Chain A
Amino acid sequence: MEQTAAFQDDRLNLALNRALTGDAQGFADLVREHQGMVFSIAYHFLQDRSLAEDLAQEVFLELFQSLDRIQSPAHLTYWLRRVTANRCIDQGRKKHRRREMALEEAPEPTTASPHADPMLLERLQQSMATLPEKQRLVVIMRFQEGLGPAEIAEVLEMPVNTVKSTLHRSLADLRKGLTRKIREVRYAFF
């Protein structure tokens, strides 16, 4: 396991160095390595596939322009998370201003693992959209990226205690939202 991580780190280091020298293939490797992370943060935040792809591309474009400031693969990951989070907040506000219902806004059907309830996962994704921006980002960083409160605090420029309380509140809100949804469904049926 450790060997795999070290190998991946070496590979990223190599790709970063190649990208820094202007090698397009090196930059493409960096994009390929991090596209899932950047796209998923944007997708879970915006719940819109095309907007998320556009945002992810903008993030990589910004990365290309600021590549000389990246010091290491770890710094690159941190930088990408931070820029994506900032852009998500900006995009979320723009989207809020001109709210349009696109087909893509419907949550993507989840490919759940065998033990997970697909309906629950879909409801969870829908409930995520009802959370305020900062709360949504904290939850994404915690449960998508698996970051600890201190790391989230660093990425989102928030105090650690605020991250902890936000996380606590977000989970409570999600639970409340899910319960309300279930009640609505019950009333609709009975």
Chain B
Amino acid sequence: MHFSEDDLREALKRKDPGEGFTQRTIARVNQARVNQAQVSQSKSESKPEPAKKNNGAFLVWWMHRPVWTIAVVAMLLLAFGIGGYQYSEYRHAVEMRLARQRQQQLQQEAERARDQAIMALEIARAKMNHVLQHAQLQAEPNDKIRRQRL
């Protein structure tokens, strides 16, 4: 079935909201005005607020733009996600660096201990050689005498 743009115009032509719509609307506006006056009166009677904030209008603005709200929330989530991931990566890198440093330190200490042990052995060997030489020198005349007796 085909339709023309005129058909669509005809189907979507303005409709009358019916009798009494204006009166009902004005009554609703008046009611809202009375309610607002009562609220502002009760507010002024209660303790004064330090600073009046315009949070209501701000919220209404966001409520009327759900796509923007979703986009902002999504962007915040994304930003927090990326931030969290970056922070965990940074923490991991720092921990790895500290572990590497600790390992290097341990290795250096082990090498130092090994060097000290080698030096101690060298000293002990030198001392032993020295003692041995002394002992040989002292034993040498006795040997000569023994050989002469034989």
Q: Which residues of A contact B (CB under 8 A)?
A: 24, 27-28, 31-32, 35-37, 39-40, 43-44, 52-53, 56-57, 60-61, 64-65, 86-87, 89-90, 93, 108, 110, 112-113, 116-117, 120-125, 128, 139-140, 143-144, 146, 171, 174-175, 178-179, 181-182
Which chain B residues border A117 with CB–CB below 8 Å?
A: 7
Q: Which B-chain residue is minimally distant from A89 (CB atoms)?
A: B66
Q: Hey, which chain B residues are within 8 Å of A112, CB to CB?
A: 10
Task: Find the A residue at minimum CB distance from B10.
Answer: A116
Known contacts A175-B2, A178-B1; is-contact A56 B12 (Cβ 8 Å): no
Docked CA distance A84–B32 (Å):
19
* Structural contact, B17 and A39, CB atoms closer than 8 A: yes
A3 smallest CB distance to B (angstroms)? 23
Is B9 engaged at the interface, CB distance under 8 Å to the other chain? Answer: yes
B137 is an interface residue with CB less than 8 A from chain A: no
The number of inter-chain residue pairs (CB within 8 angstroms) is 110
> Is B26 a contact of A44 with CB atoms below 8 Å?
no
Interface residues of chain B, those whose CB is within 8 Å of chain A, are: 1-3, 5-18, 21-22, 24-26, 28-30, 32-33, 63-66
Q: Could you say which residues of chain A place their CB within 8 Å of the CB of B6?
A: 116
* Minimum C-beta distance from A112 to chain B (A): 6
Q: Interface of chain A, helix or strand or loop or mixed?
A: helix
Q: Considering the chains assembled together, what is the distance between the CA atoms of A175 and B25 in angstroms?
A: 37
Tell whether, in the assembled complex, residue B12 and residue A139 are in contact, meaning their CB atoms are under 8 Å apart.
yes
Contacts of B22 in A (CB 8 A): 28, 31-32, 35
Our pick among B11, B18, B29, B64 for the contact of A124 (Cβ within 8 Å) is: B11
Please, which residues of chain B bring their CB within 8 A of the CB of A87? 64
26 pairs, CB–CB < 8 Å, chain A vs chain B = A24-B26, A31-B22, A32-B22, A35-B21, A35-B22, A35-B25, A37-B14, A39-B16, A39-B17, A39-B21, A40-B12, A56-B17, A61-B29, A90-B64, A112-B10, A116-B7, A121-B7, A121-B10, A121-B11, A124-B3, A124-B11, A124-B12, A125-B11, A139-B12, A143-B12, A144-B9
